[in-house]
Amino acid sequence: MTLSRRDVVNIALLARLQITEQELPVYVGSLSAILAFVEQLGAAATDGVEPMAHPLEGQVQRLRDDQVTESDHRDRYQANAPAVEAGLYLVPKVIE
Amino acid sequence: MIPHHATVAEIGRGLRAHEYSSVEITRHFLGRIDHANASLNAFVTVTPERAMADAKRADRMIARGEGGPLTGVPLAHKDIFCTEGILTTAGSRMLSNFVAPYDATVVERLAAAGMVLLGKTNMDEFAMGSSNETSFYGPVRNPWDGTRVPGGSSGGSAAAVAARLVPVATGTDTGGSIRQPAALTGLTGLKPTYGRVSRYGMIAFASSLDQAGVLTQSAEDAALVLAAMAGHDARDSTSVNAAVPDYAAGLHRPMKGLRIGIIREFFGEGLDPGVGSAVRAALDRYQATGATLVDVSLPNLPLSVPTYYVVAPAECSSNLSRFDGVRFGHRCAEPRDLMDLYCRTRGEGFGAEVKRRIMTGTYVLSAGYYDAYYLKAQKVRCLINADFKRAFEQVDVLMGPTTPTPAFAIGAKTGDPITMYLNDIYTIGANLAGLPAVSVPCGLVDGLPVGLQIIGPHFSEERLLATAHAWQQQTEWHCKLPPLFA
């Protein structure tokens, strides 16, 4: 699989990553090489094989009782935020 | 005289025998960090005030006859574990201003056992790397040879313990990130079964593969620390609710009758001849003590690296979407709009390898490519898992080398990601199948340490540690120190 510059620009946009002009050819090369490398998986016979998402068989997602177990940590958590006001996270204007 | 080369078990005994206090031990190791960290770059943050407070508390416990084998013993945490009130960076610019608001379960449990926190260790950015060269805080140097890498991603933990700046450090292992650096620095490195240790508060890379463990000087130390870390945690839904054995009590098992499978695929092309002969010599030694060696083939195992480089980037692209410049971490200056905020924050905050993996993951999960890449890799993962299951019907443990070569030079593999990825060719299989595995020192090649890897069935940590301990009772490789730090 060889990716074009346009492909990589599109992937970067989907991933919300700004890529500079200088970085672009490096990623075109390395991402194409990685995809070519993983293509050897195509040769494995996997008809009828179940996809494996979790390493332990028989593990089921546990459910807990619907009870309040946490106290309010908003101020402590928001101490790490780049910008807050009145307990709200600030972002650039979304709606004109 | 305080023995900086003492193990966790020995320091614990010395403290309880009042040969020295935790305050004295802690000062001693802080002094070693002060002296050596500038050259090794093993720590991102050193926490002397916290350490002295922990040590004083431990000394009071010991004076009252309280505490256990770990009380008063210093440790360091990989900087991927959240530590309340302490900078927690994951080796990334993205989190270079992040002061964790809570403790990871691993941090909480080892503190409750009375251990003394000396600091947070350097690592590959978000644990993505095999050489500790992707860290925002710069490369870590191998104490055995400062021109070489210590391995990664737990490279700071490995260098710190190898140079005896701290007697034990935690690590995480997604594709070999505990075992590979342990092998390259002459340490014992244990990756437990997936779900054995809580992942709560451990910054996520690939959630179906990540597991916390330890880098220690011996299997005995790994047994002591694992017993304190492991166990069910309601805050991690993948944490397994199973009793934690007394691993230290289970260390003394005879090797007679142990069936050892030799993984044929681990002795082929690409294995350094010196590493190969050190590992073969170890296998012969096990046979001489009564174990049976069985040739075992895991035919799908050679596909583990390509499988991993679909599954892990896919999970990473999803996990790392949380770093958006809104709630915590780096934010770009003066964003024009929300899209610009996201793209520039992430473009600036992540390093090159992390961006490469996010983009690989984004691609293999994107519409039209999901079946060909992600679903296919999950199916091959199932085949690899089935190979291991078949092997464990015949044998108790599997053995082979941990890495294809000893530590390589800093800069040697940074130009070609695939060459770097192939360094984990022997370690990734255990992560894909969720199996516990340990690397133990088994020789020196041109003055550089080499690791023997032992892999067991799910939840066989007790047997793995006993098997490693038996080796360490007969050999001295794990007692060898880097000459500059001896």
pLDDT digits (tens, 9 = 90+) for B377-405: 999 999 999 999 999 999 999 999 999 99
Residue to mutate among A7, A16, A67, with most B CBs inside 10 A, is A16
A95 touches chain B (CB under 8 A): no
Cβ–Cβ contact A38 with B under 8 A: yes
Best B360, B370, B458 residue to mutate vs chain A (most A CBs within 10 Å): B360
* Interacting residues of B226 by C-beta distance below 8 A, sequence separation 6+: B190, B192, B197, B213, B214, B247, B461, B465
Q: What is the pLDDT of residue B1?
A: 59
C-alpha–C-alpha distance, residues B192 and B11, integer Å: 24
Across the interface, of A30, A41, A92, the residue whose CB is closest to B303 is A41
pTM for this prediction: 0.97
From the list B78, B120, B191, B413, the catalytic residue is B78
Give me the sign of the Cα torsion angle B89, B90, B93, B94: negative
Cβ count within 10 A of residue A82:
18
pLDDT tens string A29-62: 999 999 999 999 999 999 999 999 888 877 777 7
**Which of A56, A64, A89 to substitute to test the interface with B, most B CBs within 10 Å?**
A56
Asked if B158 contacts B150 with a C-beta cutoff of 8 angstroms, the reply is yes
φ, ψ at A35 (rounded to 5°) = -65, -40
Cβ(B374)–Cβ(A40) below 8 Å: no
DSSP β-bridge partners for residue B454? B399, B438
Contact A92 B307 (CB under 8 A): no
Collect all residues of chain A within an 8 Å Cβ-Cβ radius of residue B418.
33-34, 37
Q: Which residue in A50, A61, A89 is closest to B327 by CB distance? A: A89
Query: Of A12, A5, A53, nearest to B363 (Cα)?
Result: A12
CA end-to-end span of chain A, whole Å?
A: 42
- Could you tell me the residue ranges of all domains in chain B? 8-257+396-485, 304-377
Which is catalytic among the residues B177, B198, B304, B460? B177
Instruction: Give Rg (Cα) of chain A.
Output: 23
Q: Is the pLDDT of residue A63 over 90?
A: no
Residue of B nearest to A27 (CA): B356
Decide which of 3.40.1350, 1.10.20, 2.40.128, 3.40.50 is the CATH code for A5-41. Answer: 1.10.20
Domain chopping of chain A, boundaries: 5-41
Active site residue B78: yes
Measured between CA atoms, how close is B31 to chain A, in angstroms?
32
ipTM of this predicted structure = 0.96
Is B218 known to be catalytic? no
Q: Taking a C-beta distance cutoff of 8 angstroms, is the pair B173, B215 a contact?
A: no
Instruction: Report the C-alpha gap between B291 and B284 in whole angstroms.
Output: 9
For residue B396, what are the contacts with CB-CB under 8 A and spacing of at least 6? B258, B259, B260, B456, B460, B463
What are the pLDDT digits (tens) for B79-116? Answer: 999 999 999 999 999 999 999 999 999 999 999 999 99
Spatial distance between the Cα atoms of B472 and B486, rounded to a whole number of angstroms: 19
Cβ burial B117-147 (10 Å sphere, 16+ → b, else e): bbbbbbbbbbbbbbbbbbbbbebbbbbbbee
Q: CA of B142 to nearest chain A CA: how many angstroms apart?
A: 27
**How far is it, in rounded angstroms, from Cα B334 to Cα B343?**
13
CATH 3.90.1300.10 is the classification of domain B8-257+396-485: yes
Question: Is A77 an interface residue toward B (CB < 8 Å)?
Answer: yes
Chain A residues with CB under 8 Å of B380 CB are 41, 44, 46
Question: Is A55–B346 a contact, with Cβ atoms under 8 angstroms apart?
Answer: no
State the pLDDT at residue B132: 97
Query: What is the biggest distance separating any 2 CA atoms in chain A, rounded to whole angstroms?
Result: 58
B177 belongs to the catalytic site: yes
Pick the closest to residue B196 from B454, B475, B430 (CA basis).
Answer: B430
pLDDT averages per 10-residue partition of chain B, 486 residues? 86 96 97 97 98 98 96 98 98 98 98 98 98 98 98 98 98 98 98 98 97 98 98 93 95 95 95 97 97 97 97 98 97 96 98 98 94 96 97 98 98 92 95 98 98 98 98 96 93
Question: To 5 degrees, how large is the angle CA B360–CA B363–CA B368?
Answer: 155
Write phi, then psi, for B308 (nearest 5 degrees): -60, -40
Q: Chain B residues with CB inside 8 Å of A20's CB?
A: 347
